[in-house]
Amino acid sequence: MSQIIQQPGAKAAEGRTASVVQPPSARLPEAAAVGPKRYKPGIHPQLVIGVVLVTLIVAAAVVSMFWTPYDPLRAGVGEPLAGPSTTHWFGIDRFGRDVFSRIMAGAQLTLYVGVIAVSIAAVIGVPIGIIAGMRRGVPGALLMRGSDVLLAFPGLLLAIIFGAAFGAGTTTAMIALGIGAIPAFARVARSGTLQVMRSDYVLAARAANRSSWAIAWRHVLPNIAGLIVVQCSVNFGLAVLSEAALSFLGLGTTPPAPSWGRMLQESQQFLGSHDHLALAPGIAIAIAVLGFNLLGDGLRDVLDPRLKGVR
């Protein structure tokens, strides 16, 4: 209890809690200085790690568009199942393909799925949420109830249904994951809109006889943009995870396209003898998901200092 990690610019909320936690004698001067502290911009560790990890994935994806050490689809560039070496950093898979090149190309596919899925969810979900927040009463309630029904279908389940109905594939998976994330965006947009609608500037805009469209566009959207950005990052992580799970199940990206989930699934029969085949895609998935999660958490703290330390 006495080893307190001192953080310069301690969070206001945590400072207050600390004064409750610590017996008075153990209280440090800094922690005792309760009172509203303004948020100080500075290095936010979660945000920094998130940005670094996401940059790593984006860089791998961008570079793989122009260059990979070997052709990710070409078989026979090395001895099948060979472990990591100086010429093949992550080893070779059972068809003799270079795993490092496939991981790089897989980053491209992962980001593609994430961007499309999150875009679908945001483009449909945000307007639903804003309308529901501005027009309370029957239309708003109907819109929210409608999107709530989707909540009963977790993204992965929806993707499995779509896979059965339309055949498995990357496109099917992206669309299903996007539709599955609509309620999350609608809810966030609605709660943000409700808050904005109570503000004085909206009252002023209404008094000035501004149309609903103008209020939505000029006041609501810019003010909830931060919330939406955070939601995008969090859902991006979720989309990456779901795509990997789907491909792992054989219901996502079809071979020979390099998908991390698929690579992990193919590695299963070589477990214990050729673990590099499982570790490379596994770590890649974890880095991508962790990166977008941390980025989302960090952005949340920076964009909305009131929530600092809650999560």
Binding region for other proteins (CB under 8 A):
1, 3-5, 13-14, 16-18, 20-21, 31, 46, 148-149, 152-154, 156-157, 160-168, 237, 241, 244-245, 248-251, 264, 267-268, 271-273, 275, 278, 282, 285-287, 289-290, 293-294, 297, 309-311
Residue 166 vs 217, nearer CB to other proteins: 166
Q: Which of 256, 247, 311 is nearest to 285 (CA)?
A: 247
User: What is the separation of C-alpha 215 from the centre of its chain, rounded to a whole number of angstroms?
Assistant: 29
Q: Compute how many other C-beta atoms are within 10 angstroms of the C-beta atom of residue 214.
A: 12
Phi/psi of residue 281, each to 5°?
A: -70, -35
Torsion region of 246: left, alpha or beta (phi above 0 gives left; psi -120 to 50 gives alpha) = alpha
DSSP string for 24-82:
GGG--HHHH--S--PPPP---HHHHHHHHHHHHHHHHHHHHHH--SS-TT-S-SS-TT-
Rounded to the nearest whole angstrom, what is the least distance from the CB of residue 192 to other proteins in the complex?
Answer: 20
Residue 203 vs 283, nearer CB to other proteins: 283
Q: Which of 264, 259, 288, 258 is nearest to 276 (CA)?
A: 264
Residue 98 vs 297, nearer CB to other proteins: 297
Rounded to the nearest whole angstrom, what is the least distance from the CB of residue 12 to other proteins in the complex?
Answer: 11
Rounded to the nearest whole angstrom, what is the least distance from the CB of residue 227 to other proteins in the complex?
Answer: 18
Rounded to the nearest whole angstrom, what is the least distance from the CB of residue 211 to other proteins in the complex?
Answer: 32
DSSP state, 167? Answer: -
Tell me the sheet residues that pair with 92: 98
C-beta separation of 295 from 58 below 8 A = no
Rounded to the nearest whole angstrom, what is the least distance from the CB of residue 47 to other proteins in the complex?
Answer: 13
Residue 168 vs 221, nearer CB to other proteins: 168
Q: What span, in angstroms and rounded, lies between the C-alpha atoms of 40 and 43?
A: 9
Residue 70 vs 153, nearer CB to other proteins: 153
Rounded to the nearest whole angstrom, what is the least distance from the CB of residue 87 to other proteins in the complex?
Answer: 25
